[in-house]
Structure 1
């Protein structure tokens, strides 16, 4: 559901150009005088050259060039104005828009007066509809009975698939095995992109299909993973909601626990995480993810590569209204770039006619409804018509009781039109793999899907027996679609990459090298550990083989592929020159020791000394420097550099700040002990009364409940040992999580409280002293949480002498009272804490 503030226009606000400024932005500005908003500009890039291009590679490149050039030009005056005003803003090129954060009335008024500005719109959030919720998760343990039961569980989601068959009904229903066995394709050489809640990249059914996994077994997440809001605890892909992993499983998954789950298990996947743990998808994250799909970047968001755009993009989110203002120009850009985009029709039980959801409801978007195992259209599948009376959905696919991959490396059963649309994404991968001449030809591919679908005669919502608003063109038939696809003569191209210096094996062959083959189609692969590579199903013709590897100069050769033969292309690389890159890393203007500065995508790194200084020997060329602080209180910083000689590059690491304004600072140990021992009750907690009011996320408290499991709860009496990410809609909320995990007390342990100081500078201490891990008394430590009368919170740690004690299976941070905001210092991170460490959380000082 699209959540939009709909406040009425305000009296006396005519100076703010009401014809351009949305009333929700007016309302936000009337509150605290600040608002985040979108600025839409009134013209768009000329994509005519891209529309005339023949190959998908040329289409993508020309769309990227036209869009970025146009944005630089048309947004120049606005960007200059925002920079001069000191405003925080993010320009986008995939649509002609700029997002402004924290703008005031005067700034909004000035922007609205620019003639090129079409409108100023609110920042919005898309939420997965409640009826499309993921499979039931493992229940939270509450109180003693659940706590004891939890110690005996395996920790798997409750709705695991239990069928004994190896091949699920949905794959047989669309005839996917016939494609694999009779037509000889499983989606090889095709890349599918997914915009969703993320992915479990090392799931047994997905790990070999991940484009970031190289032929030599190493993993490089650059250009294969995008997390615009940095929701994952590390740079690796994660999935905290199961949608993304499940949808990818149906698209390209292999085998897990004896189940074959994917339509196109030979295809590769990449993903962008636009949605969070509570199923909210911010429009800025969706737009950034969609833009990234057109030109994937490295992990720092730099060095975009339109040549690495996926062939297909699956969109799992939906709205109860139709598409947001920014979505149609985005889909036009995808389509013009030769990317096939697929959308769910929406999930609403017995929703009736005219209920189909955006953005799939739009005429330009290919949307998919749901049918069940017996072939009937599911009551969950939303019906058309769509925008302007368009027949919707376009067709239907299996979407009930579908076995797929789960984020915990197992499998689960799931439902929904997003899962149904994943079948179509996988089918397009099969079509384009067998018939590469169709790659990038969206109209012909849609016609093929439509023309081979099995008709469903149901005209209750309008349409005909062959094309109606309940089943669209009918039920998906992957075999018929792939069978009828025009096949062109194709062959294989193989080769080796060698170099005269390390990193090579004794024969000079180099593993992990990126090889790009461009001709009638474009493909990218990497060399195996012995320097070899091979690409099959390449349409006959001439190709340029380009090779890129850190530490060597780019090189290229040409090769000709002949039908039903194997051509070879061998490349010898020449080492690059190197130069010194050095600088100083600071936090708040002060040197930060122990920060790690690395060249992204390489093994080159250095750690800053006590003066914050680092020095690297870097190959000449364009790179991205990544700087990771020694504390999780600061954001990781990425900086593009171009090395042609000695270079100085300094960086200031910005503090992490949560949505409410909390930030943290590291410091030397100032451990305060509790003074009086308190005894937990039978529900593993003890109620306390504070000696002064304490404000957490704007709410004042004088009482709390201390859990034996390392946290202090101000919102409820929940005592739960199984930790989660922050923020989370699940209990407990409104808490200080000093060291949240299953902990136990014995005769050496205790919970202690105490008060230090005098008003108005008192501190109240809660100490978990010498507590040990559940079922492991050798893992023992002490944690002190210090609540300040000034609203600050301190966490202090003693006795951490094992990696498991340093944050594995543990959550550290704080959270508001309904799970919508929180500061997650760490989640299940075995290197997050160290002995003697202290953390202080406080609200950011107001600007000015």
Structure 2
């Protein structure tokens, strides 16, 4: 049987790929050749956009499986009847892996529905570079992981995975963190029934992700996370393309049941094609797209082919991938770290992380001095990012992968030349900043049923691909926002004459799944207000009318009277006062306030009454801006709400929280909504 490796050329639909054609010329008609047959049917994964990850993943797996079953049925029958061997379904790419007689390849290529016949090539495991002992935990300190641990987030509730040479289950820093069961280990080569690693590379990457401190110092970024693994490289250090596809496929659905959500939240991929031309080899792009669509975060090693430019590697250089370069303890780019631009387009890598002389878990458990290894390479920078993703997901479990990546890039410490570059990317990941980025509120404007929401956090409209345009509204409705379900993500809502429509499913559309209630009926001119009145983590509703607040303290959507719900007078006598809410002091519960003619009156102590300064707060922010609308939000992600005003498409935000306008860059002036006459400002954690 011929085993093909090396370069992979794109194939034209219904044809034999050029490398396979070349190989066939050297074979006899009865010689066996391993191939991957790709069919034409595809699933539009973009149409599966359920907010709930388990629902989305189930639909994606089911759709891919069903599409493959239908389109492959006749071909599979043909193959079984024509002396083929080892037929394996690759439903993740709508393909079949099979060993066929060389004489059958052209006939397969012409079979109805076949797009291409590709060689089942081989990728070799990366070679670990070992280094000298380094300062313990220098890498943990470099990305400020302990700052997130100190907030109570160590990766708990998050499952990470690697596709590698396996994992040494006996290592004391890894054994207790394995998820266990029949859905937590996959060896498509059939060599090991339980987690094992004869090479060490996979054990080293996993240690950096989740390892503990059994050796006296922490080696892992997210020691509270659990791990699963797929051993794509056999004990000889080789992985066929079909096995890698099977690995991606298993990660989407480890137990083979789409109804159970047992997929990992984060996957580390520390390998790539050994391509001397450093091209864009798209063999695994559909797999990456499928996992990303399922809201599985991916971290890729950028490659060790530096320092020359344009040395990116696939699959790390795909547009959907998140590539990680390596820096040393001085935060200088490693000479071996691959550079951009990406052969698939764009800046490369996305970020950098520690990857020179990093302490991690080793293979030789129980042998003094061999339990740990000091390693170098982008292979070991990538799991720092995977671990960082796990930490952030433990803090915000419902986090969208695109926001997770944006948080890491936008908060990274800029290194090298100013701004993103093709050595450091966006810079060295910095977890404190990433956490603040995720916790800060973002702006939006609402007009005629359309929401223009700033998801990227740069306070400018970047179009629907980066930001979001929601169609959620009807005539005369007022927009409201809140975390109605307590999952850490802001959602949309509407208020109209005492009736509320809340997007509790997070779909961003008006549908039967929305929650409706009445709160404020009969209160003429009542304005809707929202807040976490009790500090429970879930946003509740209320109304403000003529200086009186009616707050739904128990969150049932109905007015139950005091003391079950809250009735407060704060703003009485201030003609034209507009209600404002926020956690002014960062205690975790929302408090009330009013804005009138450029002056803010804020209930700092939370008793619902105006007690005068300094017990409560009185600030001038917006004075002289006719028609300004008050806005409030945690603009910097520090945990306390600050004030601002919106007028004619311009936002003036009190970034430093002193209650006064100090001009940019101390405070923020942003144009978001300019040109949308009559747009209403909204703030939320989109």
- Matched with 1:447 is 406
Structure 1 residue 481 corresponds to structure 2 residue 476: no
1: distance between equivalents of 2:143 and 2:17? 51
Give distance in 2, aligned partners of 1:205 and 1:563.
35
Q: Deviations over 1:481-502 (max 9, x none)?
A: 12332389xxxxxxxxxxxxxx
Q: Does 1:62 align with 2:59?
A: yes
- 8 Å CA contact retained: 1:241, 1:276: no
CA contact (8 A) 2:326 2:381 kept: yes
Q: CA, structure 1 residues 75+324, in 2 after alignment: closer, same or farther (shift >3 Å)?
A: farther
- Aligned equivalent of 1:434: 395
After superposition, give the CA deviation of every residue in 1:280-337 in whole Å (9 maximum; x if it has no partner).
222122111110000002xxxx556651000011111111334644311111100110
Corresponding residue for 1:425?
Answer: 386
Aligned residues: 438
Distance apart, 1:90 and its partner CA: 1.1
Structure 2 partner of 1:288: 246
Match of 1:230 in 2: 190
1:383 corresponds to 2:339: yes
Q: Quick one: distance in 1 between partners of 2:159 and 2:326?
A: 24
Q: Measure the CA separation in 2 of the matches of 1:99 and 1:414.
A: 35
**Correspondences of 1:329-478 after superposition (within 5 Å):** 329-348=286-305, 350-409=306-365, 410-438=371-399, 441-458=400-417, 465-478=418-431
Q: How does the TM-score come out when normalised to structure 2? A: 0.60
Say whether residues 1:202 and 2:170 are aligned partners.
yes
Are the aligned partners of 1:174 and 1:477 in contact in 2 as well (CA < 8 Å)?
yes
1:521 Cα deviation (Å)?
A: 7.1
1:254 aligns with 2:254: no
Task: Answer yes or no: is the 8 Å Cα contact 1:57–1:307 preserved in 2.
Answer: yes
Find the aligned partners of 2:139 and 2:428 in 1 and give their Cα distance.
12
**Residues 25 and 80 of structure 1: CA distance in aligned 2, closer, same or farther (over 3 Å):** farther
Mark the runs of 5 or more structure 2 residues left unpaired by the alignment. 366-370, 442-484, 489-503, 506-533, 539-686
Counterpart for residue 268 of structure 2: 314
* Match status 1:267 vs 2:268: no
Question: Equivalent residue of 1:108, what SS?
Answer: helix
Given that residues 148 and 431 in structure 2 are in contact (C-alpha distance below 8 angstroms), is that contact kept between their aligned partners in structure 1? Answer: yes
Partner of 2:398, secondary structure, is helix
The 2-side partners of 1:200 and 1:304 are apart by 29
Q: Distance in 2 between matches of 1:306 and 1:332?
A: 21
The answer to whether the Cα contact below 8 Å between 2:15 and 2:109 also exists between their aligned partners in 1 is: yes
How far apart are residue 456 of structure 1 and its match?
1.2
Residue 285 (structure 2) aligns with: 328
Map of 1:113 onto structure 2: 110
- Separation of aligned partners in 2, 1:296 and 1:223: 5
Match of 1:563 in 2: 536
Cα distance change of structure 1 residues 445 and 303 upon mapping to structure 2, 3 Å threshold = closer
Q: Report the CA distance between 1:375 and its aligned residue.
A: 0.8
1-side partners of 2:392 and 2:18: how far apart?
Answer: 45
Q: 2:16 touches 2:117 (CA, 8 Å); kept in 1?
A: no
- Specify the SS of the correspondent of 2:254: coil
Q: Secondary structure at the match of 2:393?
A: helix
In structure 2, do the counterparts of structure 1 residues 312 and 304 end up closer, same or farther at CA, with 3 Å as the change threshold? same
SS in 1 for 2:88: strand
Counterpart CA distance in 2 for 1:35 and 1:19 is: 13
Q: How many Å separate the matches in 2 of 1:79 and 1:5?
A: 28
Partner of residue 148, structure 2: 179
**Which blocks of at least 5 consecutive residues in structure 1 are unaligned?**
9-15, 136-158, 213-219, 459-464, 489-518, 523-540, 543-560, 566-848
Asked whether the equivalents of residues 41 and 67 of structure 2 are also in contact (C-alpha less than 8 Å), the reply is no
What is the alpha-carbon distance in structure 1 between the residues aligned to residue 424 and residue 269 of structure 2? 20
Question: Could you tell me how far 1:28 is from its partner in structure 2?
Answer: 5.5
Contact 2:57–2:258 at 8 Å: present in 1 too?
no
Deviations 1:738-791 (A, max 9, x none): xxxxxxxxxxxxxxxxxxxxxxxxxxxxxxxxxxxxxxxxxxxxxxxxxxxxxx
* 1:707-722 → structure 2 map (5 Å cutoff): none
Asked if residue 244 in structure 1 is aligned to residue 198 in structure 2, the reply is no
Q: Is the 8 A contact 2:324 2:382 kept in 1?
A: yes
Post-superposition shift, 1:5? 6.4
Looking at structure 2, the residues matched to 562 and 309 of structure 1 have their Cα atoms a distance apart, in angstroms, of: 32
CA distance in 1, matches of 2:303, 2:326: 9
Q: CA deviation at 1:257?
A: 1.8
Q: Report Cα offsets for 1:385-417 as digits up to 9, x if no partner.
A: 112431100010000000001122311100111
Distance 2:317 2:46 in 1: 26
CA distance in 2, matches of 1:246, 1:398: 14
User: 1:436 deviation in Å?
Assistant: 1.7
Give the SS at the match of 1:308: coil
Q: State whether residues 21 and 119 of structure 1, in contact with CA within 8 Å, keep that contact through their aligned partners in structure 2.
A: no
Superposition CA RMSD, Å? 2.9
* Local SS of the residue matching 2:261: helix
**Aligned ranges for residues 569-718 of structure 1 at < 5 Å?**
none
Higher RCO structure (Cα 8 Å, ≥6 apart): 2
Aligned to 2:473: none
> 1:798: which partner in 2?
none
- Per-residue CA deviations over 1:31-66 (Å, capped at 9, x if unaligned) read 75321111111231132442x211111111111011
**Which residue is equivalent to 2:467?**
none
Whether 1:87 and 2:41 are equivalent positions in the alignment is: no
Q: CA 1:319–1:18 in 2, change beyond 3 Å: closer, same or farther?
A: closer
How far apart are 1:76 and its partner, in Å?
1.1
Q: Residues of 2 paired with 1:175 and 1:34: CA distance?
A: 53
Deviations 1:783-841 (A, max 9, x none): xxxxxxxxxxxxxxxxxxxxxxxxxxxxxxxxxxxxxxxxxxxxxxxxxxxxxxxxxxx
- Report the Cα offset of residue 340 of structure 1: 0.6
* Residue number in structure 2 paired with 1:834: none
CA distance change for structure 1 residues 245 and 21 in 2, over 3 Å: closer, same or farther? closer
Distance 1:521 1:23, change over 3 A: farther
Q: Distance in 2 between matches of 1:96 and 1:265?
A: 37
The separation in 2 between residues aligned to 1:36 and 1:475, in whole angstroms, is 42
**Cα deviation per residue 1:699-734 (whole Å; 9 max; x = unaligned)?**
xxxxxxxxxxxxxxxxxxxxxxxxxxxxxxxxxxxx
* In 2: Cα distance, 1:56 partner to 1:484 partner: 22
The answer (yes or no) to whether the contact 1:346–1:382 under 8 Å persists in 2 is yes
Residues 90 and 260 (structure 1), Cα distance of their counterparts in 2 relative to 1, 3 Å cut? same
- CA–CA separation in structure 2 for the residues paired with 1:19 and 1:335: 27
1:388 to 1:315, Cα distance in 2 relative to 1, 3 A = closer
1:109 is displaced (CA, Å) by: 2.7
Q: Is the 8 A contact 1:397 1:423 kept in 2?
A: yes
SS at match of 1:483: helix
Q: 1:230 to 1:324 in 2, by over 3 A?
A: farther
Return the alpha-carbon distance in structure 1 between the equivalents of residues 109 and 46 of structure 2. Answer: 30
Whether the aligned pair in 2 keeps the contact of 1:398 and 1:423 (CA below 8 Å) is yes
State how 1:811-822 maps to structure 2 within 5 Å.
none
In structure 2, the CA distance between the partners of 1:5 and 1:54, relative to structure 1 (3 Å rule), is: closer
Alpha-carbon distance in structure 2 between the residues aligned to 1:170 and 1:48: 37
